[in-house]
């Protein structure tokens, strides 16, 4: 996967995450669909920008340990979500949408992970465990 593909995948996850959170917030019992609409409108651009940046970052740190990559990709995504919620004074509403945000970051981490290099296996003809091949 190229860095451009990783950025596009991050933007797609940001869009999907924003749409999912907006639908869930709009369908909750305490709020109506207008809140969901405003969540989508005001959250879309920051989510896309964050997704693009995290996609490129995920590709750049593709060889790091997976747990460290998960932290590096999930913490900024959650921070952007909580910063937007704090701007509108709705942090208590946006504590539950941390779950799909972390799931999106985990999907991005898995997709941008590079495959480990496996060395070519070699044999040693002087091995003491060599058995004769019966014909």
In the chain, the number of structural domains is: 1
SS (H, E, C) 52-106: HHHHHHHHHCCCCCHHHHHHHHHHHHHHHHHHHHHHCCCCCCCCCCHHHHHHHHH
Mean pLDDT of 110-114: 89
Residue 61 belongs to a domain: yes
Percent of the chain residues past pLDDT 70, beyond the cut: 87
Residue 123 belongs to a domain: no
Q: Is the pLDDT of residue 23 over 70?
A: yes
Q: Is the pLDDT of residue 111 over 60?
A: yes
Residue 134 belongs to a domain: no
Residue 26 belongs to a domain: yes
Say what the pTM is. 0.79
pLDDT, one tens digit per residue, over 38-93 is 889 999 999 999 999 999 999 999 889 999 999 999 999 999 999 998 998 888 88
Domain that holds residue 68: 3-112
Q: Is the pLDDT of residue 10 over 60?
A: yes
Residue 118 belongs to a domain: no
Q: Is the pLDDT of residue 123 over 70?
A: no
Residue 126 belongs to a domain: no
């Amino acid at each position: 996967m190229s860095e451009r593909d990783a950025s596009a995948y991050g933007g797609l996850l940001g869009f999907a995450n924003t749409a999912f959170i907006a639908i869930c917030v709009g369908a909750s019992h305490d709020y109506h669909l207008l809140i969901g609409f405003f969540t989508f409108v005001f959250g879309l651009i920051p989510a896309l920008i964050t997704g693009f940046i995290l996609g490129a970052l995920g590709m750049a740190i593709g060889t790091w340990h997976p747990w460290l990559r998960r932290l590096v990709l999930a913490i900024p995504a959650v921070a952007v979500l909580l910063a937007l919620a704090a701007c509108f004074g709705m942090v208590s509403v946006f504590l539950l949408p941390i779950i799909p945000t972390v799931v999106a970051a985990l999907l991005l981490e898995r997709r941008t992970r590079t495959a480990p290099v496996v060395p070519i296996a070699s044999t040693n003809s002087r091995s003491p465990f060599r058995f004769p091949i019966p014909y």
